[in-house]
Structure 1
C-alpha cells in the first residue's frame, strides 16, 4: 500500500493524467472529490506483471525481457526472490509469494 493515495491521484488528475495505477490494497482508502470522478481512471494492480501489462501494452517481448532483467537484478542483490512465472510478485527470501 501507498500513503496519501487520494492526494496523489488528485494531483495526477490536476496534472492532466487520465489514468493512474494504484495498489489494489489502497482502493478502499481512495476517496476522490466529486470534481475528479470521470476526470481520471484509477486502475488497481496487485503485481509488477499487472503494472507492466498497462505500461507496455502491445510490447510482450520487451515486457518479458524486462521481467527477466529485474529478476536477475534482484537475485544479484541476494535479498529477495522473484516469482515471475505465476504472480510476478516479489517476496522476501524464505517467504513464498502471496504471503
Structure 2
C-alpha cells in the first residue's frame, strides 16, 4: 500500500529565543514533516493548489519561519534559505508524484 504523503525535511539550527537552551542547541538537526495528499485529486488545479498550500505551510513550520524572535519579525537568512530549500525539495517530490500518476502508477 502506498502512503500518500510527501516528506518535507530541513536541516537547520534550532535556537529558541527566551528559553534556556542546552549547549548543543546550535548543532544542526534534521526535522521532517509529512504532507498528506491522499484526500486530494491532483488531476485538478484545485487539488494541486491545495497541495502547494500545504507544502508552503509545512516548509514554514519545519524551518521555523513563524517562530517569534525578539526584536524582529523578519526571518533570518538561514531560515529563508531553509524554507526555499525545503519547498523546492517538496515540489520535486510533488512533480514526481504527478508524473507517476499521469503514467498510471
Q: What TM-score comes out, normalization by structure 1 length?
A: 0.29
Q: What TM-score comes out, normalization by structure 2 length?
A: 0.28
Relative contact order, higher structure (CA 8 A, sep 6+): 2
